């Protein structure tokens, strides 16, 4: 079974989201402060700051970010619109508005907002880079590269343009230039978590041992990152053929993940997969897959793999039940159908 990185899917699906988007939704402009939900002391302090200085657009942006953080996007957009009423030439306002659209997966509106920002403030690096990030996803590589280079001319020590170049070259298929760009971003900012992850993924694809080093560096930056621990575990798991000790190292990574999030079912599934496929510990595999389905009753792959472990142990009736369960969740699951036919034929 092929396992995949946990790199977040927002960028991978952005083009589809943009195609499906109906365009930027209008938001009623507010001339009064957003309503206070409950007795939130932080929000009350933000209200007080706006009341004391209602002409400062930064106060509205700060409250908009806070409101978005508590999923109150309606009032967050109202605050952004109020900031625009105060000064519609400020790039920072458009950046916040674009970020709100992005959080709502309205990629078209986010892109249009950054495009407007770039038209108003063509030399604003933050705005150019926000737009470039979406341009890369959409395949507008020449436009993105031009904008990135423009941002670099303003500050060649800014690591973000190099990170975006890494993304651009990766999307264009040049992994050498991609890795070099990510590494430059890391040199400029040794705590650039995303760059460590991306270089690690590039080396992972090549089964190069440097992948482990970059994932470990990402963990050093964010010790509680499930993504980094998972990527490291997957690399160790997939290269265990070089050194069988890596299987146990991968299992330890999965245990670290469960220490962070005890409900992360894939960590149990992958431990079971190591037991089943590589270490031939079938009873232990059965237990791991059982833990996975306890956490995720719809995990049909775990039912199937537990069925395999049970079948190998001669527990065909229990295996049959698991294969049937997998098929009840995923009726076109060919592997489970073949396995079911096999155990039925052995009766």
Is 341 part of any domain?
yes
pLDDT in tens, 74-125: 999 999 999 999 999 999 999 999 999 999 999 999 999 999 999 999 999 9
Domain assignment present for 55: yes
Domain holding 95, by residue range, is 11-31+39-121
How far apart (Å, rounded) are the C-alpha atoms in residues 103 and 68? 9
Q: What is the pLDDT of residues 241-295, one digit of tens each?
A: 999 999 999 999 999 999 999 999 999 999 999 999 999 999 999 999 999 999 9
Q: Alpha carbon of 195 to those of 8, 11, 130: distances in Å?
A: 14, 15, 17
Residue 117 is predicted with a pLDDT of: 96
Kindly provide the b/e burial profile for residues 4-22, where b requires at least 16 CB atoms within 10 angstroms of the residue's own CB.
eebeeeeeeebeebbeebe
Is 47 a residue whose pLDDT tops 50? yes
27 falls within a domain = yes
The answer as to whether 270 is a domain residue is yes
Residue 205 lies in a domain: no
The residue among 339 and 25 whose pLDDT is bigger is 339
Does 144 fall in a domain? no
Confidence class for position 40, pLDDT limits 50, 70, 90: confident
Is residue 45 in some structural domain?
yes
Q: pLDDT over 70 for what percent of the chain?
A: 89
CATH of the domain at 19: 1.25.40.10
Q: Specify burial of residue 102 (Cβ count, 10 A radius: 0-12, 13-18, 19+).
A: buried
- Residue 30: left (phi > 0), alpha (psi -120 to 50), or beta? beta
Q: CA 81, CA 73: separation in Å to the nearest integer?
A: 12
Is-contact 312 282, C-beta < 8 A?
A: yes
For every residue of 16-41, DSSP letters joined together read HHHHH---PPP----SSPPP--TT-H
pLDDT of residue 347: 73
What pLDDT score was predicted for residue 289? 98
Is there a contact between 288 and 269 (Cβ–Cβ < 8 Å)?
yes
Torsion of the alpha carbons at 119, 123, 129 and 135, rounded to the nearest 10: 40
Q: Name which of 303, 241, 228 is nearest 272 in CA terms.
A: 303
Tell me if 114 is assigned to some domain: yes
Structurally, the chain folds into a number of domains equal to 2
């Amino acid at each position: 079974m092929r396992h995949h990185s946990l790199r977040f899917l927002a960028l991978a699906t952005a083009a589809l989201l943009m195609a499906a988007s109906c365009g930027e939704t209008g938001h009623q402009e507010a001339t009064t402060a957003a309503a206070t939900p409950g007795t939130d002391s932080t929000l009350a302090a933000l209200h007080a700051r706006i009341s004391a200085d209602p002409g400062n657009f930064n106060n509205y942006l700060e409250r908009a970010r806070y409101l978005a953080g508590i999923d109150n996007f309606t009032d967050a957009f109202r605050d952004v619109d109020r900031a625009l009423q105060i000064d519609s030439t400020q790039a920072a306002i458009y950046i916040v508005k674009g970020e709100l659209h992005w959080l709502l997966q309205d990629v078209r509106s986010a892109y249009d907002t950054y495009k407007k920002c770039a038209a108003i403030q063509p030399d604003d690096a933050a705005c150019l880079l926000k737009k470039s990030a979406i341009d890369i996803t959409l395949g507008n590589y020449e436009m993105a590269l031009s904008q990135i280079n423009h941002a670099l001319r303003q500050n060649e020590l800014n690591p973000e343009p190099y990170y975006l170049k890494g993304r651009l070259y990766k999307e264009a298929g040049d992994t050498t230039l991609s890795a070099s760009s990510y590494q430059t971003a890391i040199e400029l900012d040794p705590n650039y978590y995303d760059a460590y992850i991306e270089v690690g993924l590039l080396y992972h694809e090549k089964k190069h041992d440097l992948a482990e080093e970059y994932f470990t560096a990402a963990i050093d930056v964010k010790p509680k990152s499930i993504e980094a621990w998972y990527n490291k575990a997957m690399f160790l798991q997939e290269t265990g053929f070089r050194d069988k000790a890596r299987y146990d190292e991968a299992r330890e990574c999965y245990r670290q993940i469960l220490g962070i999030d005890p409900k992360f079912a894939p960590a149990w599934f992958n431990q079971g997969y190591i037991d089943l496929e590589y270490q031939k510990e079938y009873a232990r595999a059965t237990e791991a897959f059982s833990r996975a389905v306890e956490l995720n009753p719809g995990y049909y792959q775990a039912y199937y793999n537990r069925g395999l472990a049970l079948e190998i142990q001669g527990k065909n009736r229990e295996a049959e039940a698991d294969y049937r369960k997998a098929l009840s969740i995923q009726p076109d699951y060919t592997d489970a159908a073949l396995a079911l036919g096999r155990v039925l034929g052995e009766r």
